[in-house]
């Protein structure tokens, strides 16, 4: 029983670590995206600003979904 509990916890931790790594990668993409958008806007090319904002929103939604996944796995793994 204890072994099964430990196994479930370890599996939950692996899932959470994987999700966090994905969130981290998405965050790096978003930091780059903001920098590139600002650079493009300051160079006088305003056409790229709207697609960049849409992409940034989608990346944020991805992060939010992964965060909800982490919370859910956390709850599942800690169920008695």
Partner 1 sequence: MSLLPSPSKEPLWREEFSVFTSDERYVTRRQFAKFLTLTSLGMFVGNLWVLAKAHFAKTPSFPSVEVGEVGEIPVRGIKLFTYPTPKDHCILIRAGEDQYMAYSQKCTHLSCAVYFSAKEDRLECPCHQGFFSVRDGSVLQGPPLRPLPQITLERNGARLLAVGLKGS
- Which residues in this chain contact partner 1 in the complex, by CB under 8 A? 9, 12-13, 16-17, 19-20, 23-24, 26-27, 30-31, 33-34, 37-39, 41-44, 46, 49-50, 52-53, 56-57, 59-60, 63-72, 74-75, 77-78
As a whole number of angstroms, the distance between CA 51 and CA 41 comes to 12
Can you spell out the DSSP letters for the chain? -HHHHHHHHHHHHHHHHHHHHHHHHHHHHHHHHHHHHHHHHHTT-GGGHHHHHHHHHHHHHHHHHHHHHHHHHHHHHT--
* Least separation in angstroms between CB 68 and partner 1: 6
- Residue placing its CB nearer to partner 1 in the complex, 1 or 68: 68
* Least separation in angstroms between CB 73 and partner 1: 9
* Least separation in angstroms between CB 23 and partner 1: 5
């Amino acid at each position: 029983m204890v072994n099964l509990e430990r196994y479930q916890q370890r599996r939950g931790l692996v899932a959470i670590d994987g999700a966090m790594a994905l969130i981290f990668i998405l965050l790096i993409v978003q930091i780059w995206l903001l920098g590139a958008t600002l650079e493009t806007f300051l160079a006088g090319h305003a056409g790229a600003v709207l697609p960049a904002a849409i992409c940034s929103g989608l990346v944020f939604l991805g992060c939010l979904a992964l965060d909800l996944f982490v919370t859910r796995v956390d709850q599942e793994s800690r169920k008695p």
